[in-house]
């Protein structure tokens, strides 16, 4: 049962990440103005990292019930990354409103790293659970 819940959480994480990428791709294609993009980004990224944080909290709690140290590490590091991503959203908004381009670019690159890490860790976690590997 716990493996099923972990698999479901990893799958939801991957789905949320890919859905976010698709939303922004289609939105940029239809609305190329930066004002429309900022309005979407302010609402969307907060929800995006909020959902990922909630899923990683659940994953961390489930990993404590399991006896796999590998899932403990993935859950803890993913939780820290999702929390950092949620903290970065207001910082990026602050930097973009103040025309601080280098600081915004740095925060954006960290945000991309966090998203990429969460996607890869979800794939690795799914592989770990589905093929019953012991680390």
Nearest to 74 by CA among 13, 122, 130: 122
Establish if 62 belongs to a structural domain.
Answer: yes
Domain membership of residue 135 (yes or no) is no
Span 70-105, pLDDT tens digits: 788 888 999 999 999 999 988 988 988 888 889 989
SS3 string, 51-118, reads HHHHHHHHHHHHHHHCCCHHHHHHHHHHHHHHHHHHHHHHHHHHHHHCCCHHHHHHHHHHHHHHHHHH
In a domain, 104, yes or no: yes
Structural domain boundaries enclosing 105: 2-130
Q: Could you give the number of structural domains in the chain?
A: 1
- How do residues 24-57 score in pLDDT, each as one tens digit? 888 777 777 766 677 777 778 889 999 999 999 9
Identify which has the larger pLDDT, 18 or 34: 18
Of 26, 38, 32, 20, the residue nearest 118 (C-alpha): 20
Instruction: Note whether residue 103 is domain-resident.
Output: yes
Structural domain includes residue 68: yes
Residue 81 lies in a domain: yes
């Amino acid at each position: 049962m716990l493996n099923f819940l972990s698999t479901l959480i990893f799958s939801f994480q991957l789905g949320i990440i890919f859905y976010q990428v698709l939303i922004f791709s289609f939105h940029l294609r239809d609305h190329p103005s930066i004002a429309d993009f900022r309005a979407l980004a302010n609402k969307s990224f907060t929800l995006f990292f909020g959902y990922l944080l909630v899923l990683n909290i659940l994953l961390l709690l489930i990993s404590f019930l399991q006896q796999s140290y590998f899932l403990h590490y993935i859950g803890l590091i993913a939780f820290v990354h999702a929390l950092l991503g949620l903290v970065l959203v207001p910082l990026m908004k602050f930097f973009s409103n103040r025309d601080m381009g280098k600081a915004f670019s740095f925060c954006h690159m960290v945000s991309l790293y966090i998203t990429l890490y969460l996607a890869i860790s979800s794939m690795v976690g799914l592989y770990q659970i589905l093929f019953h590997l012991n680390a």
